[in-house]
Amino acid sequence: MGILAGDPLPVGAEAPLFEARDETGALVRLADLRGRAVVLHFYPGDDTRICTEQLCEVRDHYEALRATGAAVYGVNPFGAASHASFRAKFGFHFPLLVDEGRRIMRAYRCGRFIVARTVYVISADGRIAFAQRGRPPVSAY
């Protein structure tokens, strides 16, 4: 595997379990979210132009996502302080997970050293329901 992984996990595959802390230090476990959809936005960096645009779009459609019962998270290896500043600056209503050691991004085939911008939707039964590289519009998932 190079800097970027190959294709994202296929639709229908079991979502790899993970646990990570958000910018406040709260522990998030995928296993604890079973029974509801989970949206994961893997993005390369806090407070960068394209990442900011992407997550602002999610922010602007957050209520529609929440109305479906989905839990929404941003994910990258930046630290809690960076995430907290980024979240506050742009008014994100969803937590940003600290992917220490890049374990989550590797499990979800989002690269090894550089995060490949990827959106996943995990169904209530723990399977991949949507997976797309790049910056798909929120309406796509």
Does 51 participate in catalysis according to the annotation?
A: yes
Residues 138 and 68 sit within 8 Å (Cβ to Cβ): no
Closest of 33, 12, 34 to residue 129, by C-alpha: 12
Helix axis angle for 80-90 and 49-60, nearest 10°, is 60
For residues 14, 92, 53, 99, the Cα torsion angle rounded to the nearest 10 degrees is -40
Q: CA-CA distance, 80 to 34, in Å (whole number)?
A: 25
Sort strands 96-98 and 19-22 into parallel, antiparallel or unpaired: antiparallel
The length of the chain is 141
Out of 51, 58, 72, 128, which one is annotated catalytic? Answer: 51
Q: Please give the positions annotated as active site.
A: 51
